[in-house]
A = this chain, B = another copy of it.
Amino acid sequence: MMDWNNVLATRSSRMKASEIRELLKLLDQPDIISFAGGIPDPALFPAEAFKDAFSDALTTQASAALQYSVSEGYKPLRDWIAGEMGKIGIPCAAENILITSGSQQALDYLGKLMLSPKDTALVGWPTYLGALGAFNAYEPNYDRLDPKGNRAATDFAAAAEAAGGRVKFAYLSVDFANPTGETLDRAAREAVIDLADEMDIAIIEDAAYQTLRFDGEPIPPILALEIQRKGSIEACRTLYCGSFSKSLAPGLRVGWICAAHEIISRLVLMKQAADLHSSTVNQIVTHKVASTMFEPHVAKLRSTYMARRDHLLAALAREMPEGVDWTRPEGGMFVWVTLPKAMDGADLLAQSLKTERVAFVPGRAFYADGSNGNTLRLSFSCANEPQIDEGMKRLGRLIRANR
């Protein structure tokens, strides 16, 4: 019998099954009202447009659509994305865009590019669970990034050195972040650039939800603010990660990295060695659908999700007992709930399985140090109004029963 432990790389010890995912599997039952998912509502997918686009691609350019293609990605799609980047203050060209298999792959590649074992990544507290998962494969340490910048660069650098490596980048989800729903304000974005400039590190800007703003004033991406300071994307240290998963559909796995050409060209080599290229036909089809209907489609998503957010916030106000607090996101899919200190989100979920049958994601896993168990994430993307009303009634009851 093979003892696989004899041949595993040291990094494999960091790849563990998520307790949450195991627990959530149990919650995938019809009588459960779920706010756990964090996935787009499939009823809103532009399915007809995709069907037509696949048919078109396989009629007019089947040989190309089914063949190997270049690692950097389909040129018309990269051109289209570069145009969209320009609209949000990031003037750039196709050579600044690498197509990835979803923005999850972008995070994996950026970790792979920069992290040697014991290096430090600065991340939010909490932060996107999937970013920690992607980076973990490269055996980093994490330090807590407060975007308001109340820790000195020298402090971060000293801590990283004591841990045996160097700070390589700051990772931030900027708009209506997963899991908190919160948006980094302009001053905080500027402060991150100041910090990164002082430390000479990269910035990974995760903009997966960027297009889903319901209200409030749009804030320029970190990369746009950095270009304002430095004149050109080629002089910038920010690596912007975008995705079609929330705006069109996640099942095609199409995302991108937008950055200085110098670093994109390195990432192209990495992608060539890792999976050659992302699906050719999916890139062609994504380009077709995006270039014909992106704006009106995303407008529809925004109005639908906004109504669900409003309904959820109203239900929370009605149903939550005193001592419970939550965020008011201006977009995206998530509300972050803070419970009284002594309560634990994971315990609450385990109880919910037996009694109230309402599902959510306990918050602890979003902290690199596993702290702050008294939190949970609610997603409003797939819930209708009666489900929200009933679900929050049950959640309120569950929390009160635990006080």
A interface, CB within 8 angstroms of B = 1-4, 6-12, 15-17, 39-40, 42-43, 45, 47, 50-51, 54-55, 58-59, 62-69, 101-102, 104-105, 108, 112-116, 119, 130, 133-134, 136-138, 168-169, 200-202, 235-237, 245, 249-253, 260, 262-263, 266, 269-270, 272-282
Contact = CB atoms under 8 A, between A and B. Distances in A.
Contacts of A102: 275-276
A253 to B, nearest CB: 5
Contact of A253 (B40, B58, B275): B275
A173 to B, nearest CB: 16
Contacts of A276: 102, 104, 130, 253
Contacts of A39: 67-68
Nearest to A238: B2
Given A47-B66, A269-B17, A7 B54 contact: no
B251 A279 contact: yes
A63 B43 contact: yes
A389 B119 CA distance: 57
B58 A119 contact: no
Nearest to A47: B62
A12 B266 contact: yes
Given A1-B235, A67-B250, A119-B9, A273 B137 contact: yes
Given A250-B68, A251-B279, A251-B280, A112 B137 contact: yes
Max chain B C-beta neighbours (<10 A), residue from A15, A16, A133, A249: A15
Contacts of A112: 9, 11, 137
B7 A201 contact: yes
Nearest to A273: B133
Given A11-B116, A47-B58, A66 B269 contact: no
B274 A10 contact: no
A249 to B, nearest CB: 4
A206 to B, nearest CB: 14
B251 A68 contact: yes
Given A112-B137, A253-B275, 6 more contacts: A2-B260, A7-B168, A45-B63, A47-B66, A130-B276, A253-B276
Chain B CB within 10 A, most for which of A1, A9, A43:
A9
Contacts of A8: 113-114, 266
A9 B50 contact: no
A168 B61 CA distance: 43
A99 B201 CA distance: 36
B274 A202 contact: no
A213 B262 CA distance: 43
10 contacts: A2-B237, A42-B63, A45-B62, A50-B66, A55-B55, A101-B253, A104-B276, A108-B275, A133-B272, A251-B280
Contacts of A68: 39, 245, 250-251
A12 B8 CA distance: 21
B130 A273 contact: yes
A77 to B, nearest CB: 14
